[in-house]
Chains A and B, each alone.
Chain A
Amino acid sequence: MRKISIVSQVGFVLLYIACVSMATILAGCSKEVEVTTCDGTGRAMVAKNATGQALADGLMDQWKRDHPDRDWVTGEKERHELKPPADNSALLEGGQAQGHTYGQHDKRDLLVWARETEKFALEGSRIFHSSELLGSTVAVSCDMCHPHAANTHPETYPKFQTQLGRVVLLRDMINWCIEQPVRGKRLEPDDPAMRALEAYIMAQRSGTVMNYGKH
């Protein structure tokens, strides 16, 4: 009997604490507001009287924790040097008619183009340097023979690849490497990974004269 009464007393205490907590929450509800991040992935309840900055900081911290790879572009660029895309600043120097595609752009536009193009090539760099992303079964990645995409000479394609007995494009040679030394599965020509790899390899040969058919 005595034992049971102790258990029930403990149960009562626990129930009491839970009720008090509930009450606190209910009371707080009127003073709090739910805030979500603009991409809809972050959500937080904050006091209505919190300052905007504190609110934003809190949400940002949470979003950063949830997205450890958020800054992959900066990271990839730091790890693997990429040649910068062409300088288009001349477009800002007037002389073009209104309505022309390249007639009405400002600095910000140029920045967006450069960033987006660079990001495309950097995605290729990420794949180029990762045996996992390449799907290698023997832990081999492109950079093991082609640091900074050296010796890939994309400017020489199309050319008659003597070892294959036919005319090939850069993507055919990428697939040859993926199947042979890398021992992975070939990519479709429009596979995002193939497009990114082509972008990276060509970006790294920026400034080289096109010279198709060269051996």
Chain B
Amino acid sequence: MKKLKSIETRYMEDRSRFFHDLKNLDRRSFLKVSAAAMGAAVASGVIPSGSFQSVSVAQGNAASGGSAAFRFAYISDSHLYEKKINDRFVRSLLRAVEDVNNLDPQPDFVFYGGDLAQLGQPRELELGAQILKNVKAPMKMMVGEHDWYFDLGQKWRQMFGEPTYSWDHKGIHMVTLNSVVERDFWTARGLTPMQRMMTVAGLDNGVQSPFSVGEEQRQWLRKDLAAYADETPLIVFSHSPLYKLYKKWNFWTDDADEVQAILKRFKQVVVIHGHTHQLLTNRIGNIHFHGMLSTAWPWPYAPEGMPELTIEMNRPDPFNPNDGCGDGQVHVHADGLVDKVYNLWNRGPITVSKAYTASWGRQSVPPMPNRASY
């Protein structure tokens, strides 16, 4: 007779097997382990097996037509705890790494959108780095508030370098900012590093201060861009959206207006941001904004102030832990505008094309959701 096991027992068995394999993870054994993790998840009914289909991310040209000058992939907001505490988020990041490694042809690079760690613990960042080491394409890292506020970036810097940097890629100027600079709210309150981190880690925690880029980085940005002509296509990466959407959840950058003013003279600017864990599209003048999906969990939409261009994704199904989560790609056209692919794990990929934002939402409208979000 088949022995019956409780959900908890099966879960704990899966978990210990998974970490046993993870212990000596290197690039060669990575695929094997992540496939096993996926297999276990499917077997336990966590992921419907049909969702394997979505691993082959939408290929070829997106709705706008024309060929992209190049393509990069993104992974964001994995919120890793130490593996002994929580393996679900670890599995999700492994799945994202597998996704981007399966892209054929390979993307020019893979951009990490911040919040690799949940509580900025050195071990969380180390675990994240260990997993991201398996990405075949070159990695570019961005910092999020969850990575930063335990030791104010000490460990992150040591592992990944300075959080603010720029580079040129195939005629596009790329800039990565640290947009999660908070005013010192901890000294006067006498908070410990962990209390400070826990405060920032709560999206709805009102004790923390709003995010900002800050004068120092704005100076740096002005200097960095000084050498570039107005026609240079620009892609800016920031963890928080570089506009003011919803202050109470820090879907917000306090000095967004000042940063936008610096970007104003450029003909085409694309901002790719993390933090919001959802399909999010906006355009302010010459600046086109796209959000990134999280591998860990989806956020609800802000209760007010939603940008008109955003077509909200369907309300995620809590009974499928992967629903509303995912990774994606960015097809960059020669003019610097992008087709943004949201690779939703439990659904078909959704492309928000260059034509959509360029026409202020009149053309190439992405599929509308058939469920309202609450």
Contacts and interface: CB of A to CB of B under 8 A. Distances in A.
Interface in A128-168: 129, 138-140, 143-148, 150-151, 153, 163
A145 B319 CA distance: 13
A96 B203 CA distance: 45
Given A138-B88, A148-B248, A80 B204 contact: yes
Given A163-B319, A181-B318, A153 B374 contact: yes
Contacts, number: 63
Most chain B CB inside 10 Å of its own CB: which residue of A79, A80, A81, A180: A79
Most chain A CB inside 10 Å of its own CB: which residue of B298, B373, B374: B374
Contacts of A146: 300
Given A148-B248, A151-B315, A151-B373, A143 B88 contact: no
Majority DSSP secondary structure for residues of B touching A: loop
A110 B178 CA distance: 47
A81 B203 CA distance: 12
B297 A81 contact: no
Contacts of A129: 202, 204-205
A177 interface: yes
Given A147-B300, A150-B303, A80 B205 contact: yes
B19 interface: no
B207 A79 contact: yes
Contacts of B204: 80-81, 129, 143, 147-148
Interface residues of A, number: 22
A71 interface: no
B37 to A, nearest CB: 16
Interface string A173-188: 0001100110000000
Contacts of A140: 86
A139 B86 contact: yes
B85 interface: yes
Which of the four size classes fits the interface of chain B?
A: 20 to 34
A67 to B, nearest CB: 17
A138 to B, nearest CB: 4
Contact of B81 (A139, A148, A151, A181): A139
Nearest to B277: A145
B206 interface: yes
Interface in B359-374: 373-374
Interface string B293-312: 00001111001000000000
A108 B254 CA distance: 40
A80 B206 contact: yes
A34 interface: no
A93 B207 CA distance: 38
A176 B317 CA distance: 13
Contacts of A147: 202-204, 249, 299-300
Given A81-B206, A139-B86, A145 B81 contact: no
Contacts of B321: 181
A78 interface: yes
A139 B374 CA distance: 26
Interface string B68-97: 000000000000010001111000000000
Given A79-B202, A139-B81, A145 B318 contact: yes
A131 to B, nearest CB: 10
A68 B338 CA distance: 53
B202 A151 contact: no
B299 A78 contact: no
Most chain A CB inside 10 Å of its own CB: which residue of B202, B249, B298, B315: B202
Contacts of B81: 138-139
Nearest to A136: B86
Contacts of B299: 145, 147
Nearest to A205: B374
B374 A78 contact: no
Contacts of A138: 81, 85-88
Contacts of A79: 199, 202, 205-207
Interface of A: 78-81, 129, 138-140, 143-148, 150-151, 153, 163, 176-177, 180-181
7 contacts: A78-B206, A81-B248, A140-B86, A143-B204, A147-B249, A150-B300, A180-B318
Among all A-B residue pairs, the 9 with the closest Cβ atoms: A147-B204, A150-B300, A151-B300, A138-B86, A163-B319, A147-B203, A148-B204, A153-B374, A139-B85
Interface of B: 81, 85-88, 118, 199, 202-207, 248-249, 297-300, 303, 315, 317-319, 321, 373-374
Given A80-B205, A180-B318, 8 more contacts: A79-B202, A79-B206, A80-B204, A81-B206, A139-B118, A148-B249, A153-B374, A180-B319
